[in-house]
């Protein structure tokens, strides 16, 4: 499937039409690879990085596919991505690399071993103030392994602003009210052009514009938070919700699917609270989602209310935690967050 941006959106997306089409098609291909690998995944196809989070054939394969597409169409654009090809160059991981190459060739025939590694290595940029892409080939690897929620997250940053964001969510229900129904969503946004969702299989060629929920009573706000306790403090989130008088049970899903859920109105608050001193969020974990939620009418900041700063390299070095919510709730949520974290 090749995605073309609709004619009536051309004026809105004029500045980044080429980048959006390239990015959408690359993310769709990466999602295809992820689904194929997940359907045949076996234990020997995983390894541990230094931080002990599992890395799969799909992480490396998705990064290779997307950065290959960018290198062909936009060879001068820098890239900041999560995975490092050096993890595949060790003798003990020769079998894993062979699986990565096979997975890539199943979607993009003809890529050599050298090309696959070179494309993965393109993600070792440093970011900063210029123009660059940032990629998390599988955000929510543990969700991927559990066959739950994960996302392929790609964003374009220019001069510190996230100007384009794309999230491919292969396991996310198209209709949140029908969790057992069709799955596979593609979310995208360009700065100033709004946020959109279409099915990953492309059946709805035109997609639809999405917006955060128009909720005015915070007691009905649904908190969206990480499944993994290592990613955020569930206890602190519960205390914040209690302070706000929230009566709704939290919605726990992995990855930047949380941003997608909030952008289309499935939740009203997403908190990523610091779990240990000095922890720095990575830019690829938030850039795409930040763009999509903002264009859908939401607000994104750190726990101090500061905007996320994408100019400081591979990490959000000047920020602490992340708070995503509706404009009407932002002040109350931040006040409660700061009170709880100050204890």
Which active-site residues does the annotation give? 59, 141
Pair of tokens at residue 278 = 């000095």
Whether the CB-CB separation of 298 and 325 falls below 8 Å is answered with: yes
Structure-token match 């090809």, residue found: 85
Q: Strand, helix or coil at 65?
A: helix
The C-alpha torsion from 6 through 8 and 12 to 14, rounded to 10°, is 60
CA 12 to the chain's CA centroid = 23
Chain center to CA of 152? 6
Contacts of 340 (CB under 8 A, 6+ apart): 236, 239, 240, 243
Distance CA 127, CA 333 (A): 31
- Positive or negative: CA dihedral 309, 314, 317, 323: positive
What ranges make up the beta strands (E) of 24-130? 46-48, 54-56, 78-81
Q: Give residue 248's Cα distance to chain centre.
A: 25
List CB contacts of 128: < 8 A, sequence separation 6 or more: 311, 312, 313
- Report CA-CA distances (Å) from 182 to 35, 178, 203, 241: 14, 8, 11, 31
**Rounded-to-integer distance, Cα 217 and Cα 331, Å:** 14
Size (the chain), residues: 343
């Amino acid at each position: 499937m090749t995605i073309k941006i609709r004619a009536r959106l051309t004026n809105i997306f004029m500045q980044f039409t080429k980048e959006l089409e390239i990015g959408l098609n690359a993310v769709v291909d990466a999602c295809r690879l992820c689904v194929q690998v997940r359907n045949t995944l076996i234990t020997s196809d995983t390894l541990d990085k230094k931080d002990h989070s599992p890395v799969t054939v799909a992480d490396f394969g998705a990064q290779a596919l997307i950065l290959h597409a960018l290198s062909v169409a936009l060879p001068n654009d820098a890239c900041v991505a999560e995975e490092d090809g050096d993890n595949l160059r060790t003798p003990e991981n020769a079998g894993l690399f062979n699986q990565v190459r096979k997975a890539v060739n199943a979607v993009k025939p003809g890529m050599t071993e050298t090309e696959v590694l070179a494309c993965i290595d393109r993600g070792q940029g440093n970011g900063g103030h210029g123009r660059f892409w940032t990629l998390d080939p599988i955000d929510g690897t543990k969700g991927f392994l559990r066959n739950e929620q994960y996302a392929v997250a790609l964003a374009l940053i220019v001069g510190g602003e996230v100007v384009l964001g794309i999230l491919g969510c292969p396991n996310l229900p198209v209709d949140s009210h029908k969790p057992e129904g069709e799955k596979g969503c593609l979310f995208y946004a360009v700065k100033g052009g709004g946020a959109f969702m279409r099915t990953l299989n492309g059946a709805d060629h035109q997609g639809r514009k999405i917006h955060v929920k128009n909720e005015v009573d915070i007691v009905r706000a649904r908190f969206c938070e990480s499944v993994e306790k290592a990613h955020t403090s569930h206890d602190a989130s519960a205390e914040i919700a209690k302070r706000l008088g929230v009566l709704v049970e939290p919605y726990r899903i992995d990855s930047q699917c949380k941003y997608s859920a909030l952008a289309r109105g499935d939740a009203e608050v997403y908190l990523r609270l610091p779990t240990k001193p000095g922890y720095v969020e990575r830019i690829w974990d938030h850039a795409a989602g930040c763009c999509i939620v903002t264009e859908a009418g939401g607000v994104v900041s750190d726990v101090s209310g500061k905007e996320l700063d994408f100019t400081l390299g591979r990490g959000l070095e000047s920020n602490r935690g992340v708070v995503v919510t509706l404009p009407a709730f932002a002040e109350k949520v931040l006040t409660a967050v700061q009170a709880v974290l100050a204890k």
